[in-house]
Every structure is written in structure tokens, then in C-alpha cells.
Amino acid sequence: MTLSRYDGAMPSDLNGTQAVIDVAMRAAQPHQLEPGNYYTLVTPGGGVQRVDLTGPEHTGVPARKSGTTVVRDVDSFLAYFDKHGDESTEVYADVESQTITAVLDAHTADDPRWGGHRLELRLRSTPSWRAWVGASGELMSQGMFAEFIEDNLLDLVEPDSATMLELAQSFEATTSAEFQSSQRLDSGQRRFSFVEDVQAKAGLKGEITIPATLTLALRPFEGTEPYKVTARFRYRLDRQKGELRLGFKIERPEDTLAAAFEDIRTLVDNGIPEDIAVLNGAPAHRC
């Protein structure tokens, strides 16, 4: 047998077949592709192109639930949880960030899930809590202290608001007086003596007594019940200038916050299915 070398030329019958294919492809009528399916197309050059129309941008249907919904109270948290949660949902309570987070599509024991659909109870402090805690430890002038008491009378339990209003008015009336001494009474109260110069005549003497402590009823977070909070009076008397500065110090506000958060955690725990535990901590970061 004699072998001859192939010089790369295309036989005439193959050239004719390709020409027929090209003509047929150019003559084919286009048709609309339907979303939600895969398609494989032959390109004019003889290649194969894969068209994917299954994504949400084509179907209009999300591939999965995702995103974080933020609510502000326990009732809203439980309502959303009942609609979207299941037996594999994980719930985390983080006292440091004051949040409770439900991972509604958490991993199961056998199958991984996305972990991207979340519900977060993000607590907000009340204006009254911010006012009292914000002023705690600050010494104010008589006028500023009186104004603060008047603005926050509704939070006072003991002494009652009427008594504290009278005390605030006394401080407002003696802003120009010269305070000379202070005396601690057996009851724990403190008495301040002052002299007020009235039209260059003999000084008008008087006394003001303040309680040792204040008992407040404050809501640390929106949607919670009020908690008993104790504030101790503080003062500074400058005898050389006759100036009196007043203030208070909230006792262990962090304990009140922790107690309020724990009560909220209990409400959530009681409102979700018994087989789902509220874990102490925070969920894993999403990849």
C-alpha cells in the first residue's frame, strides 16, 4: 500500500455540506426564549453557547429569602417569627449590643443553609432613660438643676413630683443667694443655709433641705415596664463664692439595663416554640 501525504485541502463534498448548513442556519426563524429554562444554541461558527434564564432577574422570583428585618418590640418580633421561622431557626440574645437575632434559615444538623434571612429585635432606650443617665454625675447650677427637675417630674416616685416641684422652685428663687453652710440631718437629708441680700438691706436668711436619694420609675427600653431606679443627691458648696452646685448619681444603671434585657429575652423565649432555645451570644457573620 502506498501512503500519500494530506496537504490540508478540504474535500469538495465537505465544503458543500458546510455551505448548506450555513444557509440553513441563516434561514432559520428566531423564536423567543422563555424565562426559567436553560438553552443550548449553536453559533454560526459552529460553537455551542449556553443561555441561562433561570435567575431571578429573568423569572422575577427570588431564589431564596434574604435580608435582615429590624423590629423594635417583642410583639413585632414574634409576629414575624411566626410567619417565617421553622424548627431549625436559631435565636441569639446579645446583652452587649442589646439585640435579639433570629437566623430564620440557619444550618440544620444534616444540611447547610444560607443563613441570610434574619430577624433582629433592636432595642431603643427611652428619652427619659437617656435624660437621667445622661445627667448622672454632672453638677449643675441651681437654675439648671431646677429646670431639669421640672422637665422630668413624671419620673419621680419618692419624693413625689409635688414635693420636688416645690424644691425646684425654691432653688430658682434663691439663685442670687449666698449659701454659707450645709448640715447633714439624722434622716440622711442635707440642709443648706443661705443669706440673700435684699436691696442693700439686712440679709434675708433661709434654709433649703434636700433628700438624700431620689426614687425614679424609668423604662430603659421602649416597650418595657418601668423599673425602680435610685439616684443619690450630690452637691458642691463653694463657701468663698457662696455658690451651690447640685446633681445626682444613678446607682448601677448597668444592672437595670441587664435586668430589663433579661426580661425581654424571657418574653421572646416564652413566645417561640419550646424546642428552640434562645442562645447567649451572637450569630456567625455571613460570608
For residue range 49-70, list pLDDT tens digits in order: 777 666 565 554 556 566 789 9
Statement to judge: residues 88 and 134 lie in one domain: no
Q: What phi, psi does 31 have (nearest 5°)?
A: -135, 155
Domain-located, residue 97: yes
Over residues 180-222, the pLDDT tens digits come to: 656 676 666 767 666 666 444 445 667 677 788 999 999 999 9
Residues 151 and 220 in one domain: yes
Same domain, 183 and 219: yes
172 and 266 in a single domain? The answer is no
For residue 14, give the C-alpha cell: 465537505
Considering all CA atoms of the chain, what is the largest pairwise distance in Å, rounded to the nearest integer?
144
**What is the layout of strands, in order, in the sheet containing 213-218?**
156-158, 213-218, 227-238, 243-250
**Residue 110 belongs to a domain:** yes
Q: Under a CB-based contact definition with an 8 Å cutoff, are residues 165 and 154 in contact?
A: no
Cell numbers that stand for 277 in this block:
432555645
pTM of the complete model: 0.69
Distance CA 1, CA 266 (A): 94
pLDDT digits (tens, 9 = 90+) for 109-143: 677 767 788 999 999 999 999 999 999 999 998 88
State whether 194 and 223 are in the same domain.
yes
Query: Is residue 75 located within the same domain as residue 157?
Result: no
Regarding whether 275 and 234 lie in a shared domain, the answer is: no
Domain holding 265, by residue range, is 67-125+260-280
